[in-house]
Amino acid sequence: MKIACLLADGFEDIEAIGTTAILRRSGMLVDYISVLNQHIQTGSYGTKVMTDKMIKEVNVDEYDAVFIPGGRQASYLRNDASVLSLVKTFNKQDKWLFAICAGPTVLGILGLLDGIEYTSFPSTEEFMPKGIKVAKPAVWSKKIVTGAGAGAVTEFALKIIEAIQGIEKAKQIQERILFRVFE
């Protein structure tokens, strides 16, 4: 599984990096893609990430999924023609779509959440008027996995692993990172 993670300045640091770290533990590959076609993107809290590719270099055929973290970047992403075109192409090719926090708004304005359950940051519902919002940390509907926000990064990443590699692999990673093993 190879994933294209879309980044612009203002991405939510923990959502992009934390999710990536957990997915990589399961053996998935994640490339950071610069939407702004810059080699370094800066997160909302100052974390600098060196990107692997520019959005103009992305060949959808090389990837199995696209991942959209939230943060201040979400308003830029949902208004960027190259992002919308890329996400539409992933969807048309029946590839996986992952989004957390305000990231699902990109999917929402494209109508990709219409009629299915999703979760996202509170107050983003206006961008998903035909979606079915549920109050959960992470939701898997069809080939879309959504997360509620920064506090749900681990649940979101584990839900992606469950969707792609199965519940046993997700439990294995959960135990390996000591997530809620003491409850």
Instruction: Report residue 16 as tokens.
Output: 């992009």
Task: Report if pTM > 0.75.
Answer: yes
Question: 2-176: which CATH topology?
Answer: Rossmann fold (3.40.50)
The per-residue pLDDT for 149 is 98
Task: Name the residue ranges covered by the structural domains of the chain.
Answer: 2-176
Residues of the chain with pLDDT below 50 are: none
The per-residue pLDDT for 183 is 85
Nearest to 131 by CA among 148, 114, 111, 146: 114
Tell me the longest C-alpha to C-alpha distance in the chain: 46
